[in-house]
A and B are shown apart, each in its own frame.
Chain A
Amino acid sequence: MAPIIEVRNLHKQYGGTIAVDDVSLSVEAGEIFGILGPNGAGKTTTVECIEGLRAADGGSIRVLGLDPRRERAELTQRLGVQLQESQLPDRMRVGEALELFSTFYRRPAGWRALLETLGLADKAKTGYAKLSGGQKQRLSIALAMVGDPEVLVLDELTTGLDPQARRDTWGLIEQVRARGVTILLVTHFMEEAERLCDRLALIDKGRVVAVDTPAGLATRAQAGQRIRFRPDGPLDDALLAGLLAGLPDVTSVVRQGDQVVVTGNDNALSAVTSALARHRIVARQLRVEQASLEDAFVSLTNRTDKDSQ
C-alpha cells in the first residue's frame, strides 16, 4: 500500500537561512508518526510544506497521493490541520466556530457530536477569549477534525498545557487514531512522543537523524544501563573509582552527592553488585535506569536537553 504521506529530499530556505536541508520520510496508513527535534530543527517548516502552506524549494511531497500545492483544493478537504499558535476571533463562540468550519467541507463530521467527544458541549456558547488553554486546544483539535479528515497534522499539540490537560489530550489523540485517522504529530516532548507515536523521525538542523520506533531509538542511543545507589557508609572517591571503574563492563563512575552513578553495558549491573559484595559494601536505594528516548535524543542530536524542557 502506498504511504499516506511521502516526503522526499525536502529542502526549504528563507533568504540565506536553511530551515529544512534534506528531509525524507513516509507515513503509513493508520499510524501516529512523530516528528521530534529541538527548537529550530525544521519541524514546523516541514509540516507547513506538507500542509501546502509553504512551497518547498526542492524535493517532492505527496499527501494521499496529492501534491499539497497544486492539488490544494482536494487536499484541504481530506487533511485536518492544527497549527501552532493559531487563534480565533475573541468573540467567536465555540459552537459557532465549529458550525462555520463544517460548512467548508464536502462531508463534514457532525460538529455537535465533536463537541461532545471533546468535552466542549457545555462551552458551545462561550466566546473564544473566555476559554482556558486546554479548552482552546481541544477546540483547535475539534476544528481540525470537523472535515472528517483522513490525515491529521498536529503541531505542538500540548505546548502550554498543564500536565492533566496534556494527558487528557493524549487520550483523545489515541481515540482519533482508533477511528483509523493517520496522524502526523510534531512535538518536542519526549514523553508525548514515547506515549503516542508508533514511529518517530528525529530531526536536527534540517535533516532526519533517525527514523524508528521510540524503543528502537532508545536502543540506538546505546547508553546501556545507568545504575544508581547510595553506599551504606562513607566511601573514598579514589577507592570507589578504582573498585568500579576498572570493571570491563563499566564505562563511567560519577559521584552525585551521596549517590554513585555507574553507567555501562547490559552486564554492568551484575559486575557492579558482585564487586561491591566482595568489598562488603551495601548498596542502598539501588536503581537501574534503561536508556530512554531522551538519551537517544541527546546522543543523536548532540545537544543538551535544555531546549526540550
Chain B
Amino acid sequence: MIALRRLTAVEFRLFLREKVGPIFGLGFPLVLLIIFGNIPFFNQPGDTYGGLTVLDVYVPILIAFVITMLAINFLPATLAGYREKGILRRLGTTPAGPVRVLAAQLLVNVAVIAVAVAVLLLVGRFGFDVTLPRQFGAFLLTAVLTTTAMIAIGLFIAAAAPTGRIANAAGATLFYVLMTFAGLWIPIQAMPAVLQHISRATPLGAAVTAFQAAGEGRWPSAVQLVTLVAYAVAAGAAAARMFRWE
C-alpha cells in the first residue's frame, strides 16, 4: 500500500511538472468557459436549445473535453512512453511490479478529472450563473461512466501504440474526432438530424446528451448510458488483451 501511495504521489508531481496535462486538461477548458461566459450572446436563452443559453449547452461539452483530454491524450502517451523507456519493465523487477504504476497513473487521472469537472461546474455556477446539474445523481453516474469509457479507450491506445509518440498522435486525432461529435464546434442539438444520430452513437455524443439531460433535471435515457458502458467494456477488453508491459 505504501508503495502505491508513494507512486501515486510521485506520478502526481510528474503530472504537474510536465505542464501539458494541467494546461490542456484544466487550463484550456477553463479559459474557454471564461471566454464563452463573457460573450453576451452565449448568455441569452434561445429556442434552438429549448430555452437554455448557449453557455448552459457548452458546460457539458467542456466537461467531456477535460475527461477526454486527460484519458485519451495524456494517459496513453504517458503509459506508452513508460513502456518504451523500459520503466514498466524496470518496475517489474521490483516488489512494486508494473501493475502499481498503471494503478497510480489511473488514480492521478481520475483525481485530476474529478477536480477539473468540479472546477468547471463551480466556475460556471458562481462566475456565469450556469445552474448546477439538477439531477445530480444522474450527473455523477454519467461522469463516472464517461470517465470509465474514455480511460478504457485511452488504455486501448496505450496497448496498441508501439511508442509514446504514436500514442500521442493517435490520442490527439481521436480527441478531435470524438469532440466534434460531442458538439465542440456545433452543439448536437444544432446539428442536422443524421449527424445527431451518428453523434449519439459515439461515446462523447452519448455522454454530452446524458450530461445535458442531468443538467435539466431528467434521468438520461438508458440508451446513452448503455452506449457508454458498451464502449467501456469493448475498449477495456481489447486493451486488456493487447496490453504489453514491454
Contact = CB atoms under 8 A, between A and B. Distances in A.
Interface of A: 51-53, 73, 76-77, 79, 81, 83, 85-89, 91-92, 96, 99-101, 103-106, 143, 147
Contact of A91 (B14, B85, B86, B89): B14
Contact of B18 (A77, A91, A143): A91
The 8 closest A-B CB pairs, nearest first, are: A86-B86, A81-B93, A87-B85, A104-B96, A86-B90, A76-B95, A103-B6, A91-B17
A96 B9 CA distance: 11
A83 B86 contact: yes
A147 B85 CA distance: 22
Taking each of B18, B85, B90, B92, which has the highest tally of chain A beta carbons within 10 Å of its own beta carbon? B90
A12 to B, nearest CB: 15
B86 A87 contact: yes
B86 A53 contact: no
20 contacts: A51-B93, A52-B93, A53-B93, A83-B86, A83-B90, A86-B87, A88-B85, A88-B90, A89-B82, A89-B85, A91-B18, A92-B14, A100-B10, A101-B94, A103-B2, A103-B3, A103-B6, A104-B94, A104-B96, A147-B94
B62 interface: no
B108 interface: no
B89 A53 contact: yes
B138 interface: no
B92 A53 contact: yes
Contacts of B14: 89, 91-92
The interface residues of chain B, by DSSP majority, are classed as helix
Contacts of A104: 3, 94-96
Contacts of B81: 89
Interface string B1-44: 01100110010011001100000000000000000000000000
B49 to A, nearest CB: 43
A104 B99 CA distance: 13
A285 to B, nearest CB: 49
A53 B246 CA distance: 10
B10 to A, nearest CB: 5
Nearest to B94: A104
B94 A76 contact: yes
Contact of A83 (B2, B10, B93): B93
Contacts of A105: 94-95
A100 B85 contact: no
B87 A89 contact: yes
Taking each of A52, A53, A76, A89, which has the highest tally of chain B beta carbons within 10 Å of its own beta carbon? A89
A116 B81 CA distance: 30
A89 B92 CA distance: 16
A237 B89 CA distance: 59
B89 A86 contact: yes
Contacts of B93: 51-53, 76, 79, 81, 83
Nearest to B88: A86
Contacts of B85: 86-89
Contacts of A106: 95
A77 B95 contact: yes
Interface string B130-148: 0000000000000000000
B79 to A, nearest CB: 11
Nearest to B78: A89
